[in-house]
Amino acid sequence: MVEGRKVVISAAARLHLGFLDLNGGLGRRFGSIGVAIDGPITRLSLRHARQPRAHGPDSERASVHLAVLARRFGTTNSYALHIHEAIPAHTGLGSGTTLALAVAEAFRRLEGLRNDWREDIRTLARGQRSGIGIAVFRNGGFVVDGGRGPETVEPPITTRLPFPRNWRILLLQDASTHGIHGDQERAAFSALAAFDEAEADRICRLVLMQLLPALAEERIVPFGEAVRSIQERLGDYFAPVQRGRRFASPTVSAALDILRREGAHGVGQSSWGPTGFAFSENLAMAERLEEVLRREGFARSLDISIRRGVNRGARIDAREEDDSVMQESELTRIN
């Protein structure tokens, strides 16, 4: 035990833009598209303590992860866990995976254990369908994973590209509702009809031959058209378990319709929602779109914010308990 030492982890949210193949006819299923964004974030600190304690948003869930890790490694230390900020749970922004990996990274750093994120995701049961939350926690960026096969431990990352620095993302959060999760999510997948193979083929072609090349060339129009087309196909497929709607929140859906008419690119819903998003080519365009929504009164029911993509992984620092002496000269990226 290192007395007085505290580890602080800051990790970004992510957007889940859709699945590649829900048909699974080739032996692999799912395959996800995602991007790290600069907010909301999860930021937590962990240190040794005489008595265990945890506080802050989502601290109960974080404490469960910490207890699982302590049992796994046979540690008998007590910990003070403080969740300074947390990505809202069940909003489509990857809160669960981000929180679990942040707790695991803090625990390993504090206890001087070798980094092993693959073991952590198995221990904490993350990455069951998607690998993008794990990927952006480690390295940020725009990522595509290869889905799950019969022997997959975690979905392999097949593509990682930097997100353009000038592009912006308009984020629409509806705090009045939550996305499908847990047992409800498992029931939803069981209730849905088989996904059409031709639709899976089309989505894969859109990703490989339009979305990714447009992103690499920073051409937002074809990028946005690909996102829109993918979102429409998947939204229609999931509509039967979303009360017949393409998007989970009617308010977000109405706002996205306006953004589409006003020239936003690639509007859609992240994961099960209710969070919606739209891309813009620069800050000025994003600010204009935000002002349109505020004039229409959406700020009364939605949290509207402008976000950037994040091309780095979670930040970690270790310091003395009084924060006066940094143990690392600067924040570091997970390798």
Q: Which amino acid, one-letter code, is at 124?
A: L
pLDDT at 332: 38
Write the CA distances from 321 to 1, 21, 49, 111, integer angstroms: 14, 48, 11, 15
Distance from C-alpha of 140 to C-alpha of 132, rounded to nearest angstrom:
9
Q: In the numeric block, which tokens belong to residue 157? A: 């990352």
Cα–chain center distance at 24:
23
Q: Which amino acid, one-letter code, is at 102?
A: A
pLDDT tier, 5 (very low <50, low <70, confident <90, very high otherwise): confident
Reported as a single tens digit per residue, the pLDDT across 28-70 is 999 999 999 999 999 999 999 999 999 999 999 999 999 999 9
pLDDT reading at 327 higher than 80:
no
Distance from C-alpha of 335 to C-alpha of 327, rounded to nearest angstrom:
18
Mean pLDDT of 188-196: 91
**250-261 vs 283-295: helix axis angle to the nearest 10?**
130
Q: Which residues pair with 333 in a beta bridge?
A: 315
Reported as a single tens digit per residue, the pLDDT across 216-264 is 999 999 999 999 999 999 999 999 999 899 999 999 999 999 999 999 9
Model confidence, pTM:
0.92
Closest CA to 42 of 118, 109, 93, 117: 93
Reported as a single tens digit per residue, the pLDDT across 131-147 is 999 999 999 999 999 99
DSSP 218: T
Q: Which residues contact 198 (CB under 8 A, 6 or more apart)?
A: none
Task: Catalogue all structural domains in the chain, each as residue range(s) with its CATH number.
Answer: 1-162+311-335 (3.30.230.10), 164-308 (3.30.70.890)
